[in-house]
């Protein structure tokens, strides 16, 4: 049976078959089973595609928490299959909530709307690869050596309650030997935010990804955001404004750099108050 296994082009492109063979047994039947064996007597596949992907990630010890990007495990066309499966699951949730999705015109199609919204919008940053941020050299004599602060509007969702998180990130860097386009800071920040997150983690994720894209070890990220899970439920707070700051390199070690960053944020807020 193992010899009939076709290595997945994404996962096993570099891996020889003997390695795969060793991996075969612990995974059990559902992952590498032949298509014919997957047909139940009803004539459709018993295994969910999402289960197959989950098994692959478990095999690789790949973390797939709500805030993790799993795009390496998906082909473009896989999303449609996953949306179909999630639709089925959301239908079940509506049924369990005793909502008449057959006769209530506003609930017809809600399951599919939810599935599409999760994959294509509110959690899109889990399933899409990092935005392409072409770097331009900044290594001539008159290179820019100053601080750069970019204001990025964010929409996210808390992992605990799947309630909206909405706010602004201020991203500061000291330019290193390459620069990325200004819009890329926001694209990267939004890619990090479009997942299930905690604001503290989101702040870290943005700092790490900006550092990766720019090659700068000197990065500061300040986020202020309101949280639906504190406003719409629980303590029902009118304002749940939460502030988080992550500082690396000079932002952390040099008080003047930190002050310049914070002063820049204040100037930004005067320009575009929030």
Residues forming the site for Zn ion (CB under 5 A): 158, 160-161, 229
Q: Which is nearer to Zn ion, 54 or 161 (CB)?
A: 161
* Smallest distance from Zn ion to CB 115, Å: 21
Q: Which is nearer to Zn ion, 101 or 162 (CB)?
A: 162
Q: Which is nearer to Zn ion, 226 or 268 (CB)?
A: 226
* Smallest distance from Zn ion to CB 192, Å: 17
* Smallest distance from Zn ion to CB 235, Å: 11
Q: Which is nearer to Zn ion, 114 or 158 (CB)?
A: 158
* Smallest distance from Zn ion to CB 233, Å: 9
Q: Which is nearer to Zn ion, 53 or 158 (CB)?
A: 158
* Smallest distance from Zn ion to CB 227, Å: 6
**Measured at CB, which residue is nearest to Zn ion?**
229
Q: Which is nearer to Zn ion, 129 or 234 (CB)?
A: 234
* Smallest distance from Zn ion to CB 231, Å: 10
Q: Counting beta carbons within 10 angstroms of the beta carbon of residue 120, is it exposed (0 to 12), middle (13 to 18) or buried (19 or more)?
A: middle
Report DSSP letters for the chain, one per residue: -GGGPPPPHHHHTT--HHHHHHHHHHH-HHHH--HHHHB-TTSSBSS-HHHHHHHHHHHTT----TT---GGG--TTHHHHHHHHHHHHHHHHHHHTT--TTT-TTTTTHHHHHHHHIIIIITHHHHSPPP---EEE--STT---SEEEEEEEEEEEETTT--EEEEEEEEEEE--SEEE-HHHHHHHHHHHHSSEE-HHHHHHHHHHHHHHHH--S-EEEEEEEEEHHHHSSTT--S---EEEEEE-THHHH-HHHHHHHHHHHHHHHHHS--
* Smallest distance from Zn ion to CB 144, Å: 40
In 54-64, which positions are buried (b, 16+ CB within 10 angstroms) versus exposed (e)? bbbbeeeeeee
Interatomic CA distance for residues 86 and 28, integer angstroms:
24
Q: Which is nearer to Zn ion, 198 or 221 (CB)?
A: 198
């Amino acid at each position: 049976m193992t010899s009939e296994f076709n290595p997945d082009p994404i996962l096993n492109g570099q891996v020889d078959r003997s390695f795969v063979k060793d991996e075969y047994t612990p995974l059990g039947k559902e992952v590498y089973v032949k298509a014919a064996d997957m047909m139940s007597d009803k004539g459709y596949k018993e295994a969910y595609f999402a289960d197959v992907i989950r098994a692959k990630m478990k095999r690789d010890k790949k973390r797939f928490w709500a805030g993790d990007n799993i795009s390496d495990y998906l082909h473009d066309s896989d999303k449609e299959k996953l949306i179909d499966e999630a639709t089925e699951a959301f239908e079940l949730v509506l049924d369990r909530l005793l909502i008449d999705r057959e006769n209530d015109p506003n609930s017809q199609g809600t399951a599919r709307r939810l599935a599409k919204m999760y994959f294509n919008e509110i959690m899109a940053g889990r399933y899409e690869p990092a935005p392409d941020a072409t770097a331009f050299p900044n290594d001539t004599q008159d290179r820019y050596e100053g601080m750069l602060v970019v204001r990025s509007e964010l929409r996210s969702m808390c992992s605990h309650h799947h309630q909206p998180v909405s706010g602004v990130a201020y991203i500061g860097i000291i330019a290193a030997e390459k620069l990325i386009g200004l819009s890329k800071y926001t694209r990267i920040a939004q890619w990090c935010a479009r997942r299930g997150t905690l604001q503290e983690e989101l702040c870290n994720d943005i700092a790490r990804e900006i550092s990766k894209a720019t090659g700068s070890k000197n990065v500061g990220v300040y986020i202020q955001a309101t949280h639906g899970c504190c406003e719409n439920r629980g303590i029902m707070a009118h304002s749940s404004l939460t502030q988080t700051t992550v500082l690396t390199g000079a932002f952390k070690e040099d008080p003047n750099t930190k002050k310049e960053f914070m002063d820049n944020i204040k100037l930004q807020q005067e320009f575009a108050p929030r």
